[in-house]
Amino acid sequence: MSPALIGLECGGTRTVAIAATPDLQLIQRMEAGACNLRLVSDAELESHFSRIAAQLPPAAAIGVGMAGVRDAADISRVRSVLSKVWPGCPNEVDHDLESALSTAELDHPGQGRSRVILLSGTGSCCYGRSPSGKTAKVGGWGHLLGDRGSAYDIVHRALRAAAHHLDHSGRWCLLGQRALARLLLNAPNDLIAWMQSATKSEVAALAPEVFAAAAEGDPVARKVLAGIEEDLARDAVACARQLGRSPADIVFAGSVVLRQAAFARRIARRIRATLPGASARPLQRESAWGSVVMAQRSLGTAFKGSKQIAAAKPLVADAEDSFRIPKSRELSPTEQRNPRSTRLDRLPVRQAIELMLDEDVGVGSAIRAQMGGIEKLIRRVSAALANGGRLFYAGAGTSGRLGVLDASECPPTFRTPPDWVQGIMAGGFRALHSAVEGAEDDAVAGAAALAGRGVGPKDVVVGIAASGRTPFVWGALHEGRKRAAFTALLCFNPHLECDRKGPPDLLLALDTGPEVLTGSTRLKAGTATKLVLNLVTTLSMVRLGKVVGNLMVDLNPSNVKLRDRAIRIVLELTGTDRAAAEAALVAEGWIVKAAIARLGRKA
């Protein structure tokens, strides 16, 4: 292959690499991991560049725009590493704001106007250049001292505002509910420890939840975003004014302003109202192209146009003893000894396998015995989801983990919003992989977890407890009932004596019998739980029109395997050829239903 111009934009979230011809025609684009100069050693930087070089054509020149580059010493450090990976290759290195600005100048060269990049992504900054070459910078102080208007700043301000709102009103706002759901936390108090240990990127990743809450009318989120818009507009105007009196183009870059179009439009209006004659618009192509321009500059080539482009208030005031936990007429089968496995430790492996498989055979019959109740639950769940409600699973240990697992599978399989089906785990995120002592015995925490998610009359709450008597689960069920949600309990204790006047509205008490390993409910009870949850979400989604025949026509094709599956689904339902199916999917943003509608169902 002929040598190419290689542009690398290395940021706090990812690296984008572009290989282009000398006249800036795209050859190849790829992505790699995050690379901020302040966070990597020289050895790590060399390894990062080497992995990228192995996947790209030979380089004629390299341009690098990198987060964390601040001065000549930083530039020298990066160039030294580049010389090891691409020896003898001309290069130009600068910070990622320079690559973004070069992209803007590539789109609109030689117009005699100052240009300012307003960057709002994981971090934030404004950086500009006048027609005479003068540069100015506002912001870029890092997330602890500055970065006003960055994704990190948005989330930090929003969580502070949510806590303040709770302190003053006693209500946990929608923004807070979405944050807890996204983080698998159970109560506002849990955010304290999370915030203390979370990385900058982990905090910034919650920004979409702030925008989603604002779009749903949450006044706390809306007020935070209005303040962010004002700050970003003022910083852009201040940067432009430092460049002189010439008219200014303000160009938006970074994931926040590029992905939130309405947010960007409001900032643009503020800028134009304050700075007469200014234009404000998004960057027209990804800023890695500016790094390609930098590579071109290192060869002395002129620009050419491209043809491609503090403890929170508790939400639950109830005392632990106010959550009634039912009695069991006799010991739950899940705690009884199985007479068939009393010699398990002495059985030959093959016989032990046969025994465990024989025991699992009865799981299906136990589920069929509760067919009527499961059917009722599926109807309630599908109706709830169709009418703006949500499904919540609450559990501890294996039961909780299976609920979280089922919830996490719904967005990729059925393209559901993440908040449609939510798993609530006793002990929170850490309990998914490690035991949290006493978590399952805290009924108040179970109630607080439901309150923290803002459960209401449109929702369905399913408690999962093998013995049927887990306090965390019963706290959640009582809180769900108090908030007028439909409640159900999935357990494996047919001897449970539930109060007919209290929760649950539906009891599914399966009898799978004693476990092969006494008390190990990750075995038959766990298998049965997984099967029941499969039934509930799969058939609810079928009723919501997310399945045609036995094909998942609303999957989210987020990887190569799923994109191939999406193509095969379109082929099957439209009778077209593969090229037409893929073209329709690309045109419709890989939304399978839309691609099928575009092509038309076959008779």
Q: Which helix (H) or strand (E) holds 490?
A: strand 486-491
pLDDT at site 301: 53
Q: Which helix (H) or strand (E) holds 249?
A: strand 248-253
pLDDT at site 320: 58
User: Does the N-terminal peptide bond of residue 557 adopt cis geometry, omega within 30 degrees of 0?
Assistant: no
Asked if 4-101 and 320-543 have one fold, the answer is no
228-263: per-residue pLDDT in tens? 999 999 999 999 999 887 778 899 988 899 889 999
- Candidate CATH numbers 3.30.9.10, 3.90.550.10, 3.30.420.40, 1.10.260.40; the one for domain 4-101: 3.30.420.40
Q: Is the pLDDT of residue 308 over 70?
A: no
Q: Is the pLDDT of residue 80 over 70?
A: yes
pLDDT at site 79: 93
- More confident of the two residues 300 and 338: 338
- Taking CA atoms, 287 is separated from 79, 115, 141, 198, 501, in Å, by 20, 14, 21, 28, 62
Average pLDDT value for residue range 268-275: 92
Q: Which of 202, 230, 335, 409 is catalytic?
A: 409
pTM assigned to the model: 0.75
Query: Where in the chain are the domains?
Result: 4-101, 320-543, 560-599
Q: Is 131 helix (H, G, I), strand (E, B) or coil?
A: coil
pLDDT at site 315: 62
Mean pLDDT (the chain) is: 89
**Continuous H helices in 302-421:** 349-361, 363-368, 371-386, 397-414
- More confident of the two residues 393 and 602: 393
Contacts 24+ apart (CB under 8 A), 430-435: 431/396, 431/397, 431/400, 432/184, 432/401, 432/404, 435/397
229 is catalytic: no
Q: Which helix (H) or strand (E) holds 143?
A: none
* Token pair belonging to 425: 């785990």
440 is catalytic: yes
Q: Which of 209, 440, 479, 515 is catalytic?
A: 440
pLDDT at site 306: 33
End-to-end, the C-alpha distance of the chain in Å comes to 47
Q: Is the pLDDT of residue 141 over 90?
A: no
pLDDT at site 310: 44
- Candidate CATH numbers 3.40.50.10490, 3.40.50.12500, 3.10.20.810, 2.40.50.100; the one for domain 320-543: 3.40.50.10490
pLDDT at site 313: 54
